[in-house]
Amino acid sequence: MTAPPARLLSAASNVAAKVLQGGVADLRPVPRVLIDQGPNRSVYRMTSTGGGPAPAGPPVLLVPPLAAPALCFDLRRGCSLAEHLVEQGRRTYLVDYGNVAFSDRRLGIEHWIEEVLPRAVRKVSADSGGQGVHVVAWCLGGIFSLLTAADQPKLPIESITTIASPFDFTAIPLVAPFRPLVEFTGGHLLTPFYRALGGAPSYLVSRVFKATGLSKEITKPLAILRNLDDRDFLAQIEAVDHFMGNMAAYPGRTFGQIYHRFFRANDLAEGGVDLGGRAISLSAVKVPTLVIAGENDTIAPRQAVQRLVGLLENSPDVRFEVSPGGHLGVLTGRRARGTTWRHVDGFLDEQLTSS
Q: For residue 153, how many other CB atoms are within 10 A of its CB? A: 12
CB contact at 8 A, 300 and 166: yes
Amino acid found at 20 = L
What's the CA gap between 251 and 97, in Å, rounded?
12
Which of the residues in the chain have pLDDT under 70? 1-3, 14, 17, 51, 174-220, 355
What's the CA gap between 325 and 154, in Å, rounded?
35
User: pLDDT digits over 87-139, tens only?
Assistant: 999 999 999 999 887 788 888 999 999 999 999 999 999 999 999 999 999 99
SS3 state at 325: coil
Concatenated DSSP letters of 20-52: HSS-S---PPPPEEEEEEETTEEEEEE---SSS
**Residue 337 pLDDT:** 94
SS3 state at 271: coil
**Residue 24 pLDDT:** 87
SS3 state at 107: coil
CB contact at 8 A, 69 and 245: no
**Residue 87 pLDDT:** 94
SS3 state at 106: coil
CB contact at 8 A, 134 and 60: yes
What angle, 0 to 180 degrees and rounded to 10, lies between the N-to-C axes of helices 117-127 and 140-151?
80
